[in-house]
A and B are shown apart, each in its own frame.
Chain A
Amino acid sequence: MPQTFRDYIAANKRNSVLLVVFFCLFITVVAMVLCLAIIAYYGHGALSGVNWGEALLVGGVAALISLLLSLLAYYTGDDMVLAVAGAKPLQHADDPELFNVVEEMAIAAGLPVPRVYLIRDPALNAFATGRDPQHAAVAITSGLRSQLTREELQGVIAHEMSHVRNYDIRLMLLITVLVGTVVMLCDVFWQILRWGPSRGSSSRDRRDSKDGGGGVIVAVLLIIAVILAILAPILAQIIQFAVSRQREYLADAAGVELTRYPEGLASALRKIRDDKQVLAHANRGTAQLYIANPIKKFEGLADTMFASHPPINDRIKRLEALTK
């Protein structure tokens, strides 16, 4: 069993590296294609006259920027994610019981004690983030904090500590920040594509008829559109891998291995299931971080491909099976 846990952690670290490489390559290629398009446009349509050196230079700069962005995501991504979630740091004196539970679970997992954050929100949810167990943070909504007994709280924190121990937090953090950046760039590009050509059409029509530059730009934009169309499902697939049900089931089971009390987490999940509040600060970009899907309307779609979490009833059933 420990061998497989070690393998699982190694896989998470490897996937984190692959993700960064893929991200940098993607940004570089897109930047180069855009550069070529612009050169082709202002060079009056002759792709043969394109200066490839300039494109390579732009590609190099893009590679450097994306690498810096990756480093930024790796080292400060946890603070970004916590800020987006509206989480505020807690001291021991603010909530001794919560801190004690976190420390107990850190001891059980043999890890350093993570930072503790509170999200002022009546919805019931929690998540963990950070680049490794030495730089980890757990955040819990005030709604969940106030509704749980000590045993239930222990189950939830144990689930989060398992994400920390398994390095799920590193992979999820990089996915959230980097894939989020790509999705944002895609959105921006689609916006440009939609209103860009029509806006400047009156002045460009004349040029187009002269030298055919518009034809080239339309062709390049179409190519990029095709690339994006191919890429979108791949991106979805990456997120899908990351938020696989296996990851949540495993964190549930590993959490129970820490508390040796499945009923605690099961009972907490039941409370989360029965709560209909929607978390104000969660969106599709950060939903995969939380212990349960924060966007309740998606829960009905839990059986479809795009669910970020396994159905909560199934998780409860599996935990109940452990107590028998």
Chain B
Amino acid sequence: MDPTILIVLAIVLGLGLLLLFAAIGIYNSLVNRRVETENAWSQIDVQLKRRYDLIPNLVETVKGYASHEKDTLERVIQARNMAMSASGVAAKAEAENMLSGALKSLFAVSEAYPDLKANQSFMGLQEELKATENRIGFSRQHYNDVVSNYNSMLQRFPSNVVGGMFGFKQVEFFKLDAAEAEAVRKAPQVKF
């Protein structure tokens, strides 16, 4: 065979292999990032569950000091049960927001009971609930961070080609209410 044909063949084959390896790398990296988003999503559920578990304790403690705040207590329990049984992302988000609101009013009401506020287990629960609220917020934030990593990789060239070939889909962000969205917009950018 003509040596020039051999050389051309070798170059084409080499380039093909190079492209294949690049594609494999991109594919694996896309898979990793998609798995990251799934992990981050389940992490949110873990934190929500933690909050459900804390609420009965909190209600019992408050009951002992402020039994005539029955309405507030019941609203908290109701909101908790609704949030636990809610299905669908939108309904769940709304129920969770209601629960957050109910808890806020419970803590506002407890301000009027000095004995309750001085109670050790109430103080402990207050810290735990505050921490849990924070965790829920931070796990959502982390979810959105990894979703934005994944989505932007899916839109950039050349990973968008590989993504399109293997049917990778964009993942939806966790939607925030207006005030939270404002806070995220103001989040600072990291510069090197």
Contacts and interface: CB of A to CB of B under 8 A. Distances in A.
B127 A253 contact: no
B92 interface: no
A110 B124 contact: no
19 contacts: A2-B149, A2-B152, A96-B127, A96-B131, A97-B127, A103-B135, A104-B134, A104-B135, A105-B138, A107-B138, A107-B139, A110-B39, A110-B40, A110-B142, A110-B146, A250-B192, A253-B191, A257-B187, A260-B183
A181 to B, nearest CB: 32
A34 to B, nearest CB: 43
A161 to B, nearest CB: 11
Contact of B135 (A107, A250, A254, A258): A107
Interface of B: 36, 39-40, 43, 47, 124, 127-128, 130-131, 134-135, 138-139, 141-142, 145-146, 149, 152, 183-184, 186-192
A107 B190 contact: no
Contacts of B190: 1, 5, 250, 253-254, 257
B142 A108 contact: yes
A118 to B, nearest CB: 18
Contacts of B131: 96-97, 100-101, 103-104
A39 B146 CA distance: 61
Chain A interface, >50% SS class: helix
A97 B43 CA distance: 21
A107 B188 contact: no
B128 A260 contact: no
A101, A104, A107, A322: residue with the most chain B Cβ atoms closer than 10 Å: A107
Contact of A107 (B124, B142, B146, B191): B142
Contacts of A254: 190
B123 to A, nearest CB: 10
Interface in A87-113: 96-97, 100-101, 103-105, 107-110
List 9 A-B pairs, minimum CB-CB distance, nearest first: A100-B131, A108-B138, A322-B188, A253-B190, A107-B138, A104-B134, A260-B187, A2-B149, A110-B142
A262 interface: yes
Interface size on A, as a range, is 20 to 34
Contacts of A257: 187-188, 190
Nearest to B184: A260
A256 B188 contact: yes
B127 A100 contact: yes
A4 interface: yes
B189 A1 contact: yes
Nearest to A262: B188
Nearest to A319: B188
B156 to A, nearest CB: 9
A1 B127 CA distance: 34
Nearest to A104: B134
A100 B128 contact: yes
Given A2-B149, A322-B188, A107 B43 contact: yes
A107 B146 CA distance: 12
Contacts of A104: 131, 134-135, 138
Nearest to A106: B138
